[in-house]
Amino acid sequence: MEKSETMGSKPSDGRTVDDEESGNQIMINDATEKAYVYFFNAVDRSNLGNAETDGMSKDLGFVGEQYSLLILLFYIPNGLCDLPLNLLTKRYSGRIVLPGLMVGWGAMALLQAACKNFGGMLAIRLILGAFEAGFFAGAVFYLTLFYTRGELGFRIALFFGSALLASAFSGVISFGVFRIQHPYVHGWMYLFLIEGALTVIFGVVAFWWLPANPQSAWFLTQAEREVASLRSLRDGTRNIGEEFSLKQCFKTWNDWKFPIWCIISFTYPVAFATTANFLPLVIGRLGYDKVTTNLLTVPPNVTGFLVLLAVTYSSDRNRERTFHIAGSLTTSLVGLVVLAAIDARAHVAVAYFATFLLTAGAYIPSCLVHSWHNNNNLSENSRAATTGLLVGLGNLGGILSAGTFRTTYAPRYAPTLIATAGCNVTCIFFTLWLGIWMRRENSRKNKEQGISLRAEDVETRELSEGEKDPKWRFFV
């Protein structure tokens, strides 16, 4: 099949720019921007745990399971607001909506320092969850405007991985501010004030920093912008700058595969939530003091970050999602089963190794699942709505993890680990089912048409009818 050239093309200004050069410029600037923004998102989401180590619950008079309740209830607005906020991102562009959300959650992070009781902290955390809800889904949709289908997984991983670094940053800030002695302003208050203020400042800067799309990116020349458009039309979307339409947003929701995507998106994040929120508690089973326990969380998280980059890079390079997702889920599943089955104090080395398996597999699906369904959706409107809903379902899935991590289950937390493992098994089953069906469907079409086509062999701008087009092949 004949393809239009984008390699070494000459845009209207006469300067020769190749596909790789334009892609690298986008990655260097845009991925860096997203990493910074998501870094602060993760900092403000995770600093509650740091504040708790400084006696926040005692200062605010928490009783019973109220601290765990703060974590659990955060996921409700965090899941319900993803879809409407992502529609706003499509309607008004990520350049406006994402910085606006950032200023909003930064302001809520600041206000946490003024809370006097559980009710006040709960109200702030619910609003914080609503503002933070739209960011990950919005950023994923935003990245689909900049990168080709074969680049998306690794690019999402670059900014998603910054969340792992954010935990270390929050720990360093905590170490400093918790040493400040003041009769009225506690260390955890300083933590919220400093990190919230940094978020608001960076959010204001992002209003001028983030471009709306590649065609208006300040860091690209006119030639590079034109090549960026050609890249998207070749392997990304069928239409650039598609006008916002609610009807088009929900057009693909009646497809039989849509419930499968919903199940996958609800179940994969449970392992991520268990790992992100409760890894110190899991490692605490090994019998070390609090300082050593927190230190021991660093190597598994660093390993998880490196494996995340390696696996998503492999997935993009080989243009394969199914087995990369299933493999990562299986890796974390083994870690969960080991931790649930053994006496951690009697088998310290084995239990600690299992936490490496947990982090090595838990983070990857967040990047590849949302790359996969976007890879098979060529409509900007539909991508915005579908990504918003599926990310929202994932956030609601975090409730299962938070709800089963109860103090009464300590120190083994077996019910939590078993429930999380069950979600992994469910997700593996439906991932393999959908991926294998897509492969068979591609083979069936090739056999009927007497040709051998893959997803990358057909330019996406030629597929005006989407899956109904005879040339359509699934990105598997």
Say if 383 falls within a structural domain: yes
Under the banding of pLDDT at 50, 70 and 90, the label for residue 157 is: very high
The pLDDT of residue 46 is: 66
Q: How many CB atoms lie within 10 A of CB 262?
A: 17
Residue 316 and residue 264 in one domain: yes
Judge whether residue 24 has pLDDT over 70.
Answer: no
The pLDDT of residue 405 is: 76
Which range, 160-174, 175-189, 210-224, is most confident?
A: 210-224
Name the domain boundary from 186, 212, 238.
212
Q: What angle do CA 77, 79, 83 make, to 5 degrees?
A: 105
The pLDDT of residue 103 is: 94
Say if 59 falls within a structural domain: yes
Question: Mean pLDDT in the chain?
Answer: 87
Residue 201 and residue 259 in one domain: no
Which range, 207-211, 213-217, 261-265, is most confident?
A: 261-265
Judge whether residue 3 has pLDDT over 70.
Answer: no
The pLDDT of residue 167 is: 61
The pLDDT of residue 5 is: 38
- Greater confidence (225 vs 389) lies with 389
Cα dist from 438 to 354, 434, 444, whole Å = 33, 6, 10
Q: Is 243 exposed, middle or buried (0-12, 13-18, 19+ CB in 10 A)?
A: exposed
Say if 234 falls within a structural domain: no
Residue 261 and residue 393 in one domain: yes
Report the C-alpha gap between 60 and 73 in whole angstroms: 18
Residue 131 and residue 195 in one domain: yes
Cα dist from 250 to 86, 167, 380, whole Å = 13, 36, 11
CB 231 within 8 A of CB 223: no
Say if 325 falls within a structural domain: yes
Say if 429 falls within a structural domain: yes
Residue 204 and residue 260 in one domain: no
The CATH number covering residue 175 comes to 1.20.1250.20
Under the banding of pLDDT at 50, 70 and 90, the label for residue 16 is: very low
Judge whether residue 441 has pLDDT over 80.
Answer: yes
Judge whether residue 130 has pLDDT over 90.
Answer: yes
Say if 223 falls within a structural domain: no
Q: What is the pLDDT of residues 230-274, one digit of tens each?
A: 999 999 998 888 999 999 999 999 999 999 999 999 999 999 988
The pLDDT of residue 462 is: 94
Residue 186 and residue 261 in one domain: no
Range of the domain at 348: 255-476
Q: What is the pLDDT of residues 62-113, one digit of tens each?
A: 998 888 888 889 999 999 999 999 999 999 999 999 999 999 999 999 999 9
Q: What is the pLDDT of residues 359-412, one digit of tens each?
A: 999 999 999 999 999 999 999 999 999 999 999 999 998 888 888 877 778 778
C-alpha closest to that of 98 among 201, 203, 184: 203
The pLDDT of residue 410 is: 75
Dihedral over alpha carbons 137, 143, 148, 150 (to 10 degrees): -60
CB 291 within 8 A of CB 175: no
Residue 207 and residue 262 in one domain: no
The pLDDT of residue 224 is: 84
The pLDDT of residue 174 is: 62
Q: What is the pLDDT of residues 450-460, one digit of tens each?
A: 999 999 999 99
Q: Give the total number of structural domains in the chain.
A: 2
Say if 218 falls within a structural domain: no
Q: Which residues does residue 9 pair with via DSSP β-bridges, in sequence order?
A: 17
Residue 390 and residue 454 in one domain: yes
Residue 200 and residue 264 in one domain: no
Residue 172 and residue 286 in one domain: no
Over residues 337-363, mean pLDDT? 93
Residue 352 and residue 440 in one domain: yes
Residue 60 and residue 125 in one domain: yes
- Greater confidence (292 vs 112) lies with 112
Over residues 204-227, mean pLDDT? 85
The pLDDT of residue 349 is: 93
